[in-house]
């Protein structure tokens, strides 16, 4: 006996419709997994807590929590997570690794293009193609900063987006940008300015730099004008309030040169 017209049969799980001749069928609950789900499920399958996984890959538990809640669209920690959880890198979309060469997975097998082992396609013969793959052109990652007390900045481990690569970072591997907070370097740098950083450029006297702590658990930084150096100290300057002071090189061992800025937004 046929059902009256207009009745909808719903298929849930493996349940079969009692009346297959009814033309309207609706399937419920079909959701695709995201790469964030892959991380969470692999962690849980291996019996790891968020804190344990964070410690294993060198990030904070907050970073793992954000990833599993699909907060960042990309993360520089993804390679370490994939290796720690023994996942297949090809299961993750390229954009999840973030921009730049430092984010590209290490090549562990020959590169294959569509069409098998034949000659390289024409686009792969263009040097600009490989320059983009190497992170030498295109946008640069943008990192947020929060005030960390005594003029220090806490830098987010994961980028919050990208900004257009300025001319002074063209062809620069691993260039990046920081969204600045704090007024210690005003008027040279105002809160809301985006600082463009070249980590490969030699630091000269009387240039502004980002100094990174090598001892803090969270990424901690200072934006100051570099004046001079001894074997143990950096001599630096800030403008508000104006003063000169020294930084212990054993604690603030890394410095990257600021090459330009985008004005506050």
Q: What is the pLDDT of residue 80?
A: 84
Strands 25-27 and 9-11, by their bridges, are parallel
Per-residue pLDDT, 193: 94
User: Which pLDDT belongs to residue 223?
Assistant: 94
**What is residue 170's predicted lDDT score, i.e. its pLDDT?**
85
Query: Is 229 found in the same domain as 149?
Result: yes
72: which residues sit within 8 A by CB, 6+ positions away? 66, 158, 159, 160
pLDDT value, residue 8: 47
Query: What is the DSSP secondary structure assignment for residue 58, as one 8-state letter?
Result: T
Rounded Cα gap, residues 174 and 140, in angstroms: 8
Q: Which residue positions in the chain have pLDDT lower than 70?
A: 1-32, 99-137, 148-151, 265
According to the model, what pLDDT value does residue 99 have?
A: 60
Q: Do residues 111 and 134 lie in contact, with contact meaning Cβ atoms separated by under 8 Å? A: no
Same domain, 86 and 159: no
Q: State residue 136's pLDDT score.
A: 55
Residues 172 and 258 both lie in one domain? yes
Last residue of a domain, one of 74, 98, 122: 98
**Whole-number pLDDT of residue 158:** 84
Say yes or no: 163 and 244 in one domain: yes
Asked if residue 2 is part of any domain, the answer here is: no
CATH number, domain of 30, equals: 1.10.260.40
CA–CA separation, 215 and 236 (whole Å): 19
- Write down the pLDDT at residue 41: 92
Question: Among residues 98, 130, 159, which one ends one of the domains?
Answer: 98
- What is the model's pTM? 0.52
Overall number of domains in the chain: 2
Q: Could you read off the pLDDT of 115-137 as tens digits, one per residue?
A: 444 554 554 455 555 545 555 55
Asked, for residue 258, whether it belongs to a domain, the answer is yes
32 and 88 part of one domain: yes
Query: Which residue range is the domain that position 164 belongs to?
Result: 140-262
pLDDT at res. 173? 82
Q: How many CA atoms lie within 13 A of 58 on its CB side?
A: 10
pLDDT of res. 197? 94
Query: Looking at the domain assignment, is residue 222 inside a domain?
Result: yes
Residues 255, 205 share a domain: yes
The model's pLDDT over 96-110, given as tens digits with 9 standing for 90+, comes to: 887 643 334 443 333
Using CA atoms, how far residue 83 sits from 54, 145, 215, in Å, is 13, 28, 25
The whole-number pLDDT of residue 228 equals 95
Residue 109 placed within a domain: no
- Do residues 181 and 68 both lie within one domain? no
């Amino acid at each position: 006996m046929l059902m009256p017209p207009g009745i909808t049969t719903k298929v849930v799980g493996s349940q079969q419709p009692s009346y297959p001749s009814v033309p309207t069928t609706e399937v419920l609950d079909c959701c695709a997994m995201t790469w964030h789900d892959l991380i969470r499920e692999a962690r849980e399958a291996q019996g790891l807590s968020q804190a344990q996984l964070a410690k294993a890959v060198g990030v904070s538990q907050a970073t793992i929590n954000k990833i599993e809640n699909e907060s960042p669209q990309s993360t520089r920690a993804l390679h370490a997570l994939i290796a720690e959880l023994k996942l297949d890198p090809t299961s993750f979309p390229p954009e999840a690794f973030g921009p730049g060469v430092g984010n590209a997975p290490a090549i562990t097998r020959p590169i294959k293009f569509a069409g098998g082992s034949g000659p390289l396609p024409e686009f792969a013969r263009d040097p600009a193609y490989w320059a983009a793959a190497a992170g030498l052109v295109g946008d640069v990652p943008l990192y947020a900063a929060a005030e960390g007390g005594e003029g220090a900045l806490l830098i987010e481990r994961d980028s919050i987006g990208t900004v257009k690569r300025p001319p002074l970072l063209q062809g620069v591997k691993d260039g990046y940008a920081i969204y600045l907070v704090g007024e210690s370097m005003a008027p040279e740098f105002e809160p809301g300015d985006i600082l463009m950083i070249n980590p490969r450029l030699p630091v000269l006297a009387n240039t502004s730099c980002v100094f990174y702590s090598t001892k803090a658990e969270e990424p901690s930084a200072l934006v100051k004008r570099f004046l001079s150096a001894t074997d143990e100290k950096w001599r630096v300057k800030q403008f508000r309030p104006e003063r000169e002071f020294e930084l212990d090189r054993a604690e603030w061992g890394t410095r990257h040169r600021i090459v330009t800025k985008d004005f506050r937004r």
